[in-house]
Structure 1
Amino acid sequence: MAYREFATPNMSRRSLLRGGAWLTAGAALAGTPMGRVAMAREGGAAWQNVDAMVRKYVDERKVANMVATLGWGRKDPLTIARGTLALGGAVKADPDSLYRIYSMTKPITGMAAMMLIDEGRLRLDQPIAELLPAYADMKVQKTYDGSITDVVPAERPITVRQLLTHTAGLGYGIVQKGPITEAYAEQGLIPGQVSRLPIPGLGRAKPVEGLDVFADRLAKLPLVLQPGTKWSYSVSLDLLGRVIEVASGMAFDDFLRTQIFEPAGMTSTWFSVPQSEIGRFTTNYGILNGTPMPMDPAKASIYLDEPPFPFGGAGLVSSPRDYDRFLKMLLGYGMIEGKRVIGELAVRVGTSDILPKTATTEGTWIEGQGFGAGGRVTDGSYGWGGAAGTVAFVNYKAGLRANLMTQYMPSEAYPIHEGFPKAVAADLTAMQGAGA
């Protein structure tokens, strides 16, 4: 998405929560001889471009802090960290600092569904109405973002694959406009949170209580597109959380904790920050006329509250160390430190392009690229970014995992989603030269 800063203090939920498009390093990596990169990395080549990016943003006080983790294969990551948990604060940011990862929750939810598919408790092309009967007779807006009463029947059922890839035809309150957006707000279909503060333009609609209620109410509203026809960023990963609950017989948050976080050694990933961990929680900033202003202070954060329901699309708080472990597990095709967390086939399929053949990406953020289980797929890379400036990916061609965390909104106020992968690619090119 284009670089943009606020000209006024009015912030919309759409601009704040939208994770934006991010460019993976895949295209740059595609032409890089990985054997040469491997030789260079064993020699301890520095990540000079990534380091320079981190220094620039923090030293210019565009952000309070920035932490990058970069890891090869099964090796421990290199960490580049700068800044403090809050502007003017004394506590330095490090790999164990806590960040609102927003849409970087989506790949985690996607991989949870892939686990159930691998175990035979879900099928990739299974109609979700088999688990959630309310979705058996969906209607679709005749005009995109038009009337919510002028509708036509859905031409095909919504499937698990479509939920994984944002092709189910569902809307998003942070993307849509007009009556459907108003209906989402009125019904409490708000799968994310920003602040306790009364921020102008943010909206104060009350989210529904319970993932089951969210799913039931969502089923009563029309789709914005025919299922399986077009990639459109949506609440599909939040709905997928309910599908996971029904298929597994476990609460969604319990499933993530017991089946992914605990087995993978992710000890700092939650839907709400425990009181005991506030001391390492970052403050989130809104960028107003180029200046960071605290919008969700750590000690008074909305993330200290239990969420109305576990937001599978944008709800998690995590640390750079924890998210690196998730990436390390993916790079190991489900294995981490000798322990299998997810089946190899589940990871291979989930990190590949599983877009329905009937769906187009023309005119979207991912035009000409692929999409896997909750994340973009291109040239050997899989990953996604978050609305508060976080971005992470694995690249199987390079055997690399890369993650950057900072906290500001909206994500497009600075070109970090694009800049970090480009800095990684530039450093890999330099490593290629060093290994020549």
Structure 2
Amino acid sequence: MQIIKYPSREEWASILARPVFDSTSLFDTVQKILDDIRHRGDTALKEYTKKFDRVEINDLLVAEAEYSEAEKLVPDNLKQAIEMARRNIWKFHSEQQHEYKEIETSPGVFCWQKAIPIEKVGLYIPGGTAPLFSTVLMLAIPANIAGCKEIILCTPPNKEGKIHPAILYAAKAAGVHKVFKAGGTQAIGAMAYGTETIPKVYKIFGPGNQYVTAAKQLVSLKETAIDMPAGPSEVEVLADETANPAFVAADMLSQAEHGVDSQSILITVDEGLVDKVLEQIDIQVEKLPRKEMTKKSLENSKIIVVKTLEEAVEMTNEYAPEHLIISTRYYMGVAENIVNAGSVFLGNYTPESAGDYASGTNHTLPTNGYAKAYSGVNLDSFIRKVTFQQISQQGLVNLSNAITIMAENEELTAHSNAVKIRIERD
């Protein structure tokens, strides 16, 4: 853990730098796998599953009996928790639906938008160090609300060729249409190009390791859209003297346990908070099952002391954290000045874990500073907005002079003629 006190503005860029792996260095390796999937389909997919997941898969599609088996293996208390999360996620995202009015921009000229779901979407759920069944809910529920016709999910099988039961249970609860036993680069290729078994989709969602990230970047160049650029998970806590040190430490550790490249940052105006938080981190980390990984992640983490809340806000907007927890006396006022963040958590009793699981907001968020330009996943992520217009004869007459003058000044005569021929014919 690095402790930095009262840095100058010139130091900010280096202080706020993230421990990001450059996935472009993997492009050659990843592209070869993608090309192989494109040309050999299921055969290549099964070979890579055997090579990387160390299991031989005959049927890529999860059978109905496997869902029934999974349901029996999921404890009742977890089923109840998943159901609460499902309801809250559904409620929050369903309120993001909008009606689009027809606008008469000038007499006789009517324009409007229509929200149309992306027909085919693919969800990727990693199978690495943790079964991210919560991400299944975060992606599949808004896809269902949007009305996507085909929602498929790819996730790597375990050594027995099975999918974690909680992932299958969540997939069923959230309305995923088909689940496939495929992971890594090969799964991204299968969804991007289509194979004999796995259908091609129009947009791919979901987190993954650096190979998955590189694969998503490459297929997005030509084949299919992706949700957003991805990187290691991160949290920032912005705190003053009213923050609870134990809460702050717990929030930083909850992010650090994601992986060794995750980052937790505390920016505070209270120098006295630093030692209290460090003490709590030392106490709490020893109780974590993933403490070795968490300790490694804490090497990337920082506590930064600044002079004023205004400076803390400015630094926060420069960092653009994926998750931002504001633990200050007047947190609503501080929040008003936040413009760059993926998701914001307000007050001492709003942990980032709530958004990760059950409050209703989406936890698929922009990392690596992309919060300056990207939103987190929401209902619009699964929707295309198509514009329509209808112009009456008199409406076209009213527009004709502006259209023809602009077209001819751009030396696009055919554009001008498309208007003139209609006006002159009448």
Shorter-chain TM-score tier: under 0.3
Structure with a larger share of its residues in helix: 2
TM-score by length of 2: 0.23
Whose Rg is larger? 2
TM-score by length of 1: 0.23
